[in-house]
């Protein structure tokens, strides 16, 4: 967003005082005090580093983690989202989608509750709207829900289902693994007919936050398995000879979209790891400096 010279700069979810100068245009004069903010951390706390973080969404009441129960059910990812939400004092909810494709959807609820006993879990089929009713107590006028989830998790479809109108464009998804295209390219805010506010965050960015390359290979186990057959163990899969990933792409066994998604996430993960490496180097240099300083002091004693 363009820096408007306001303190703070408005983000999605902010309530602003606006001076209207045309029927569809206005000038933001002030950002009203925020009730809550959701931060995107730059560096993961698990590494013992208090990294920078920045506010991505303001005034969120609930963080709805949207997860494809069929193709992407992952307790570790739930944990990551839950801890990020808790860190900002935002109540998490879990919405497991595509349950129409499961024979025993209740099993998934039990698996989640065994680990996160207090987490409200909803099993929904956004196509037929089955299970949507259970969410209604969270969908109140003036309540803001932020949707978090990977690309293809079913956020746009859920939004459509909730609003009963095509407010968001859903992407085509491959039957094979259920991964979608990145139809959500910017954070957006929708107001449901009853006055509930929904904020849809880009699927890719949601996983990008504090992901490490370990997480990336976990999410792309097919590419990881192919990579083991590459001629070079440090193959980047971007043009080396004897690359099994490129071969699979050529043979149509690996979808180009999925590969591009992998490259994008790997890029994010490696810059994250670079930050860590730089930080370690700095700490080492500081340790050395302190050591010499202390020795110097002793010599004076
Ligand atoms: N069977 C079934 N399919 C679903 C359900 N929800 C979503 N889908 C399908 O899953 C695919 C991806 O859904 P989207 O709503 O586009 O996913 P998204 O989370 O918005 O993805 P991004 O916009 O990339 O972040 C689409 O083909 C949907 O039709 C569901 O409850 N049941
Ligand atoms: Zn390769």
pTM: 0.65
What pLDDT is recorded for position 168?
Answer: 45
What pLDDT is recorded for position 50?
Answer: 47
What pLDDT is recorded for position 293?
Answer: 67
pLDDT for residue 203 is more than 50: no
Q: Which of 156, 173, 208 is the last residue of a domain?
A: 208
Q: Is 99 annotated as a binding residue?
A: yes
- 233 and 173 housed in the same domain: no
**Mean pLDDT, range 180-195, rounded to an integer:** 64
Q: Is the CB of 53 under 6 A from ligand 1?
A: no
- 24 and 82 housed in the same domain: no
Determine whether 61 is exposed, middle or buried from the number of CB atoms within 10 Å of its CB (0-12, 13-18, 19+): middle
What pLDDT is recorded for position 158?
Answer: 93
Q: With pLDDT > 70 as the criterion, what percentage of the chain qualifies?
A: 68
Query: What is the DSSP track for 166-234?
Result: --SPPPPB-TTT--B-----S-EEEE-TTS-EEEEPPHHHHHHTT--HHHHHHHTHHHHHHHTTSSSTT
Record the tokens describing residue 252, joined without a space: 């149509």
Q: Is residue 301 part of a domain?
A: no
Dihedral angle computed from the Cα positions of residues 66, 68, 72 and 78, in that order, rounded to the nearest 10 degrees: 30
Q: Is the CB of 257 under 6 A from ligand 1?
A: no
pLDDT for residue 144 is more than 80: yes
Q: Which of 176, 208, 240 is the last residue of a domain?
A: 208
- Domain of 129, CATH number, reads 3.40.50.300
Q: How would you classify the pairing of strands 144-148 and 62-68?
A: parallel
Residue 112 pLDDT class (50, 70, 90 cuts): very high
What are the strands, taking DSSP E only, across the chain? Answer: 16-22, 25-31, 37-41, 53-58, 62-68, 91-97, 121-123, 144-148, 188-191, 197-200
What pLDDT is recorded for position 46?
Answer: 42
More confident residue, 51 or 94: 94
Ligand nearest to the CA of 238: 2
Angle between helices 105-115 and 75-87 (to 10 degrees): 50
Q: Is 267 annotated as a binding residue?
A: no
Percent of residues in the chain assigned helix, strand, coil, to nearest 5: 40, 20, 40
Can you give the length of the chain in residues?
301
The span from the CA of 296 to the CA of 298, in Å, is: 5
- Beta-carbon contacts of 32 under 8 Å, excluding residues fewer than 6 positions away, are 14, 15, 16, 17
pLDDT for residue 169 is more than 50: no
pLDDT for residue 279 is more than 60: yes
Q: Is the CB of 156 under 6 A from ligand 1?
A: yes
- Return the residue matching tokens 């997860």: 67
Q: Is residue 89 part of a domain?
A: yes
**Mean pLDDT, range 191-198, rounded to an integer:** 87
- 279 and 191 housed in the same domain: no
In tens, the pLDDT along 155-165 reads: 889 988 988 64
- Domain of 248, CATH number, reads 1.10.40.50
- Beta-carbon contacts of 17 under 8 Å, excluding residues fewer than 6 positions away, are 28, 29, 30, 32
Q: Is residue 172 part of a domain?
A: yes
Ligand nearest to the CA of 179: 1
What pLDDT is recorded for position 216?
Answer: 58
Q: Is 156 annotated as a binding residue?
A: yes
pLDDT for residue 288 is more than 90: no
Q: What domain count does the chain have?
A: 3
Which value does ipTM take for this structure?
A: 0.95
Q: Is the CB of 187 under 6 A from ligand 1?
A: no
- The three-state secondary structure class of 188 is strand
Least confident of 121-125, 229-233, 234-238, 257-261: 257-261
In tens, the pLDDT along 9-45 reads: 788 888 889 898 888 888 888 889 999 988 765 544 4
Enclosing domain of residue 147: 34-208
Q: Which of 159, 174, 208 is the last residue of a domain?
A: 208
């Amino acid at each position: 967003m363009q820096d408007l010279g306001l303190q703070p700069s408005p983000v999605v979810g902010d309530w602003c005082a606006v001076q209207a100068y045309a029927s569809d245009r206005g000038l933001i004069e002030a950002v009203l005090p925020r009730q809550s903010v959701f931060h995107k951390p730059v560096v993961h706390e698990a590494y013992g580093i208090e990294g920078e973080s920045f506010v991505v969404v303001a005034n969120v009441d609930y963080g709805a983690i949207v997860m494809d129960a069929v193709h992407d059910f992952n307790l570790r990812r739930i944990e990551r989202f839950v801890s990020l939400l808790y860190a900002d004092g935002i109540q998490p909810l879990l919405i497991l989608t595509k349950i129409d494709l499961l024979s025993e959807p209740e099993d998934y609820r039990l698996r989640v509750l065994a680990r996160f006993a207090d987490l409200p879990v909803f099993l929904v089929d956004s196509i037929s709207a089955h299970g949507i009713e259970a969410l209604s107590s969270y969908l109140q006028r003036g309540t803001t829900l932020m949707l978090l989830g990977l690309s293809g998790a079913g956020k746009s479809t859920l939004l459509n289902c909730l609003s009963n109108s095509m407010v968001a464009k859903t992407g085509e998804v491959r039957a094979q693994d259920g991964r979608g295209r990145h139809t959500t390219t910017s954070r957006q805010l929708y107001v449901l007919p009853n006055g509930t506010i929904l904020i849809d965050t880009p699927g890719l960015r949601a996983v990008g936050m504090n992901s490490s390359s370990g997480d990336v290979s976990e999410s792309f186990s097919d590419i990881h398995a192919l990579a083991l057959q590459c001629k070079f163990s440090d193959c980047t899969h971007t043009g080396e000879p004897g690359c099994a990933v490129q071969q699979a792409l050529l043979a149509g066994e690996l979808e180009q979209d999925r590969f591009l998604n992998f490259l994008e996430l790997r890029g994010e993960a490696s810059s994250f790891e670079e930050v860590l490496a730089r930080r370690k180097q700095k700490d080492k240099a500081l340790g050395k400096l302190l050591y010499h300083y202390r020795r110097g002091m002793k010599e004076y004693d």
